[in-house]
Amino acid sequence: MHAVGLITEYNPLHNGHRYHLQTAKQVSGADCTVVVMSGNWLQRGEPALLDKWTRTELALAAGADLVVELPVYFATQPAHLFARGGVAILSALGCDSLVFGAEHPDLDFAKLTTAMATMANGDFQHYNATFATQFNAALQATTGVTLTSANDMLSFCYYAANQRLARPLKLYPIQRRVAGHAETTITPGETFASGTAIRQAALQADWPAVEPVVPPATLAALKTNRLQSWADFWPYLQYQLLTVDVAHSGQYDQMAEGLEYRMRAMVQTSHDFQDFLGQVKSKRYTYTRLQRVATAALLQLTKAEVQAAQAHPYIRLLGFNSTGQAYLHQVKKQLPLPLYTKINQQLREHALQLDYRAGRVYELINHQSQDLYRRPLRITGG
Amino acid sequence: MHAVGLITEYNPLHNGHRYHLQTAKQVSGADCTVVVMSGNWLQRGEPALLDKWTRTELALAAGADLVVELPVYFATQPAHLFARGGVAILSALGCDSLVFGAEHPDLDFAKLTTAMATMANGDFQHYNATFATQFNAALQATTGVTLTSANDMLSFCYYAANQRLARPLKLYPIQRRVAGHAETTITPGETFASGTAIRQAALQADWPAVEPVVPPATLAALKTNRLQSWADFWPYLQYQLLTVDVAHSGQYDQMAEGLEYRMRAMVQTSHDFQDFLGQVKSKRYTYTRLQRVATAALLQLTKAEVQAAQAHPYIRLLGFNSTGQAYLHQVKKQLPLPLYTKINQQLREHALQLDYRAGRVYELINHQSQDLYRRPLRITGG
């Protein structure tokens, strides 16, 4: 059996994702679709609307054969580390290929990556502009190309991450089925919409708008579950930033250059999370970066913890169908990373402690156990 | 002018406290009543029902001439440190005497204190019993006397604290006007009841029970303000204990002997604060001690911070009438401690940072500024 990998968040799983899942085998010629999916905290520095188990179920229903978790120390990171974690896990699972959506799949990502290969991420950190702006200025200067779309940028990162592998995956960028990631409304009559537009509509319970652009299972899940957003966690973040010593908050992951003082000052005068972000915002940081720092603060993730965890990744199984099970059986004996199917005390205090903590915080709102007593979902068929 | 001091919490101010205020001048022959009162967090390790400004107003209405704050690093401490802080501040304010209620005011506290003077608090810490039990065993062995009532114990501590002063206060223990501090119900027809009984009735909005045992101003304040209790802060404590690194929580004030591990484990299976305390409880600790540790955890107060702050006390003015103002004018120039009347950025980041933090956490529930933009209350008359 051959497997194709997908790196996903499914917040929530919509028709574009279903198309991606349906196309992956076809494009790659694989027999099994392996999905690595962010857990409860996402790359944009926010909680998932639906928890990881609900989203695993939706993924399996939409065509995934095997779903594993992208650990929080990769999921809540800048694009290059998010990509690196996803690619590493798919490679460890023996995938031959990776299929991903891009706004401009015809770009010569391989060439761009090679041209930029010598540039370290740290090179940009002293400029008074966001990372993406700096990155693009350098890319423009080196190659004449600018990557202004989120998924083009991510595609670039997949190529860069793939270059680090001893046995690289075959990469298949495909055309995304949505006008643009930043599009914030659902167009009537269309069957595809952006995640941002769908989240907004779902949080307003605008089901007639959501229905045409998501699979029926997603609609049902959105209607019946407690949808979680930053508004739910704002009181905890506020409390945390008010009480923590700045010497300690300065050690939170992705915190930088005195941002801990700025956050502590602004949290005292902000009345909600959006207001807080607006007050902290400066030219130096994107909203996404600030959301990721806020996530690190909320989860009390320090740079040191995140870096130590990134050096010891693992495969955390969330769900599978019979195809996924057969594939897992095939590769199980040669896995280069540990495979975890359920959590025990040892794991929750050591190897899995960051994911466990991230899950406990998520549970404060939805009150559904995220790790304790949970086993991978099995569905028949596939 | 001569001043008499009172060390109080007023949670809430009831008829027993009013009697105490009315009696103090009479017993001591003073012209001015100086009250040092715990701020928003109390000696039993819990939030005050009403904030410090509301309680200051009630104190002034009931006969106090000058009200100052007992800082959080004294207020949330075991009896001997609570007493030490209160006595030090009253002494700094030039009081000649201290009047306090005891269950058995006829006990020879001076003699007991002298007998016990050589015993350090640390002597008890390796026994498998609570501090009070150990203390009483030692006191019994040394003097033949046992102090089983909370205010007898506190009276003992006032004597012990007073012995440390260069110019000791004159001490006046008076009979408490309530059957017992642990009494948990309000007796119909009585005009005195315990604080515990009054708090319970107030939290249940049982106003007919509360009315006979508190001044009218207290009843009005209880009816019109958001009453705060541990139930309000439980989600924040839970969040904090779930996310904090045990290496850090082990440094919280009054945390001891691996209690941080026990708290982290129990917080995961507790459904409310009472349940949590019950699960953490062992013979080694009283509920009050555990509540104080929980307060330190909630406010993220470390041992080191508390000890550093205790070494640099100050006088924080909360309110006064014209008698209090005249007295303050008289003593102002020879105060051995700094006097703060309002908070500025320098104070809130340094000298007053623990009180400021404690106030910010309290504000998360009642949304009334506790320090920023607040000035001492002035009432006419007195």
What would the pLDDT profile of A71-88 be if each residue is shown by its tens digit?
999 999 999 999 999 999
Write phi, then psi, for B119 (nearest 5 degrees). -85, 120
Contact A235 B236 (CB under 8 A): yes
Tokens representing B270 are 């507790």
Give the tens place of pLDDT for each residue, A317-375.
Answer: 999 999 999 999 999 999 999 999 999 999 998 999 999 999 999 999 999 999 999 99
Rounded mean pLDDT of A278-300? Answer: 95
Q: In the prediction, which pLDDT does B302 show?
A: 96
Nearest to A203 by CA among A9, A12, A8: A12
Contact A243 B364 (CB under 8 A): no
Chain A residues contacting B via beta carbons under 8 Å:
235-236, 238-240, 242-245, 248, 268, 298-300, 357, 360-361, 364
- B chain contacts of residue A235, beta-carbon cutoff 8 Å: 235-236, 364
CB A209 within 8 A of CB A187: no
Q: In the prediction, which pLDDT does B66 show?
A: 98
Give the tens place of pLDDT for each residue, A103-144.
Answer: 999 999 998 888 777 655 545 444 445 667 777 888 888 888
CB A70 within 8 A of CB A86: yes
**Gap from B295 CA to chain A (nearest CA, Å):** 12
Burial class (CB in 10 A: 0-12, 13-18, 19+), B242: buried
Write phi, then psi, for B244 (nearest 5 degrees). -70, 145
- B chain contacts of residue A365, beta-carbon cutoff 8 Å: none
A363 to chain B: nearest residue by CA? B239
Other CB atoms within 10 A of residue A223 CB = 13
Do the annotations mark residue A101 as ligand-binding? yes
Do the annotations mark residue A18 as ligand-binding? yes
Nearest to A301 by CA among B263, B244, B248: B244
Tokens representing A369 are 């156990």
DSSP 8-state assignment for residue A41: B
Contact A361 B242 (CB under 8 A): yes
Better-scored residue on pLDDT, B345 or B94:
B94
> Which residue from B300, B360, B364 is facing A235, i.e. has the nearest CB?
B364
- A chain contacts of residue B372, beta-carbon cutoff 8 Å: 268
Do the annotations mark residue A7 as ligand-binding? yes
Q: In the prediction, which pLDDT does B179 show?
A: 55
Average pLDDT, chain A: 92
**Confidence class for position B166, pLDDT limits 50, 70, 90:** very high
Q: Among the listed ranges A134-138, A274-278, B44-48, which one has the minimum average pLDDT value?
A: A134-138
Virtual torsion, Cα B178, B184, B188, B189, nearest 10 deg: 10
**Gap from A222 CA to chain B (nearest CA, Å):** 26
Contact A361 B236 (CB under 8 A): no
Q: In the prediction, which pLDDT does A116 show?
A: 78
Give the tens place of pLDDT for each residue, B318-373.
Answer: 999 999 999 999 999 999 999 999 999 899 989 999 999 999 999 999 999 999 99
Contact B243 A364 (CB under 8 A): no
Give the tens place of pLDDT for each residue, B64-82.
Answer: 999 999 999 999 999 999 9
Tokens representing A27 are 């494009």
Q: What is the DSSP string of A237-253?
A: HHHHHHHS-HHHHTTBT
Q: In the prediction, which pLDDT does B119 show?
A: 59
Domains in chain B, ordered, with CATH?
3-107+147-227+311-378 (3.40.50.620), 230-307 (no CATH)
Q: In the prediction, which pLDDT does A58 show?
A: 98
**Gap from A375 CA to chain B (nearest CA, Å):** 19
> Which residue from B245, B268, B364 is facing A239, i.e. has the nearest CB?
B364
Residue for token pair 């027809």:
B189
Contact A361 B240 (CB under 8 A): no
Alpha carbon distance A91, A335 (integer Å): 10
Alpha carbon distance A112, A158 (integer Å): 12
Rounded mean pLDDT of B286-296? Answer: 96
Do the annotations mark residue A151 as ligand-binding? yes
Q: To the nearest whole percent, how much of chain B has pLDDT over 90?
A: 80
Mutate to test the interface with B, among A41, A242, A268, A345 (most CBs of B within 10 A): A242
Give the tens place of pLDDT for each residue, B103-159.
Answer: 999 999 988 888 777 655 545 444 445 667 777 888 888 888 888 888 999 999 999
Residue A62 Cα distances to A25, A189, B267, B369, angstroms: 13, 22, 37, 51
Is B57's pLDDT higher than 70? yes
Q: In the prediction, which pLDDT does B126 show?
A: 43
Contact A240 B239 (CB under 8 A): yes
Q: Is the alpha carbon torsion for A66, A67, A68, A74 positive or negative?
A: positive
Give the tens place of pLDDT for each residue, B183-234.
Answer: 788 988 899 999 999 999 999 999 999 999 999 999 999 999 999 999 999 9
Alpha carbon distance B143, B277 (integer Å): 34
Q: Which residues of B138-166 are buried (b: 16+ CB within 10 A; e: fewer)?
A: ebeeebebebebbbbbbbbbbbbbbeeee
**Gap from A79 CA to chain B (nearest CA, Å):** 25
Give the tens place of pLDDT for each residue, A15-66.
Answer: 999 999 999 999 999 999 999 999 999 999 999 999 999 999 999 999 999 9
DSSP 8-state assignment for residue A257: T
Contact A239 B240 (CB under 8 A): yes
Write phi, then psi, for A8 (nearest 5 degrees). -140, 170
Contact A268 B360 (CB under 8 A): yes
The residue type of B16 is G
Contact A235 B240 (CB under 8 A): no
Q: In the prediction, which pLDDT does B317 show?
A: 98
Q: In the prediction, which pLDDT does A122 show?
A: 45
3-state secondary structure of A93: coil
